[in-house]
Amino acid sequence: MSQTRRAFLITTAIGVALARPAFAADYPAKGPYAVKVIEDVWHDGSRNRDIPWLIRYPDGAQGRLPVVIFSHGLGGNRSGAAYYGDHLAGHGYIVAYVEHPGSNTDSLRGAFGGGGGGGGNGIDYDALGKRAADPMAALNRFRDIPFALDQLTAMDAAPGPLQGCIDMARLGMSGHSYGAVTTQAMAGQIYPRGSLGEPRFKAFLAMSPSGARDGDNAHAFAGFTRPFLFLTGTEDVAKVPGTNQDPLDRQKPFAFTPATTPAVQLVFKGGDHMVFSGSNLRPGRPTDPRFRTITCAAATAFWDAYLKGDDTALHWLRDGGLSGYLGNDGVVSVKGPAR
């Protein structure tokens, strides 16, 4: 335990409240565990669908460990956002990356590198737009997640490196872009035909979230009742036809999350859409490494608060620690009760 964190616990134990805890170094710092990786493919016989997966986990951690799911964006795969999973696994989490056929790299390979609708970087955005608008691709994505949870339950019971280690009572859901849409669906976003919320999740983290397509945000996000962390940036735009190109749209889920729900939003000043993915599509951006470090710090504190029940992390996240660490690089907003 760091000296600053120990001082905080001693001080609060004798009844002195600290409005802006000063132990930011605990959360961006590399965790104590080495990280191991396993990967394979699950087969969903009910849909005749193969789902590639990759899991990062802490080597030598004892007991049952909390689990965080990650869903990639359009054109991504199970290897993306490794920085995020490595950081969390180093801090004692099992991080399961679920790859979604139909909106992954393989299914969109023709859209990259010189398609007819491409921009200066050779990406065929028209092809990406058609895939993004495919309702079956979305529905299959949403169905992949409950299926993955069932497979993790089975993995915990079967011989292997994670036997007896997966705590299915402490589950978190996260994702970037289309993966944030998938996260919002699991959190209970309400669509014209209902909701597909997954009750097994305790909390949610969305990188580059999206407002409701029909514009009825108050209705769409009325079902968000569990803790949520939203991360976006002032330049968070995805150049995909049919999607909202206003960065402010990505702040709608937080704005319309009910006031009774614990929620935090972090908006990076100058942060773009790809900063969260781990890709470097825009070279020469010196802020990207810092933004990713802050993302890891915020995510660690969030999951510590809501999957590990750590009150110190909760205070840092909501009561000025994260905001102070962020400094002039962005804005933190908080709503709802702490728990």
Positions in the chain short of pLDDT 50: 1-24, 114-120
Q: What is the residue range of 286's domain?
A: 3-335
pLDDT of residue 123: 56
Contacts of 198 (CB under 8 A, 6+ apart): 145, 146, 149, 173, 186
Residue 92 contacts residue 58 (beta carbons within 8 Å): yes
pLDDT of residue 53: 98
Residue 24 contacts residue 8 (beta carbons within 8 Å): no
Taking the C-alpha atoms of residue 157 and residue 286, their distance in angstroms, rounded to an integer, is 45
Helix-helix angle 135-157:178-186, to 10 degrees: 70
CATH number at residue 236: 3.40.50.1820
Structural domain tally of the chain?
A: 1
Q: Report the chain's C-alpha Rg in angstroms.
A: 19
pLDDT of residue 21: 38
Taking the C-alpha atoms of residue 201 and residue 132, their distance in angstroms, rounded to an integer, is 25
Q: What would the pLDDT profile of 179-218 be if each residue is shown by its tens digit?
A: 999 999 999 999 988 899 999 999 999 999 999 988 999 9
pLDDT of residue 129: 61
pLDDT of residue 232: 97
Residue 99 contacts residue 78 (beta carbons within 8 Å): yes
The helix (H) or strand (E) run that includes residue 277 is none
Residue 1: Cβ-neighbour burial (10 angstroms; 0-12, 13-18, 19+): exposed
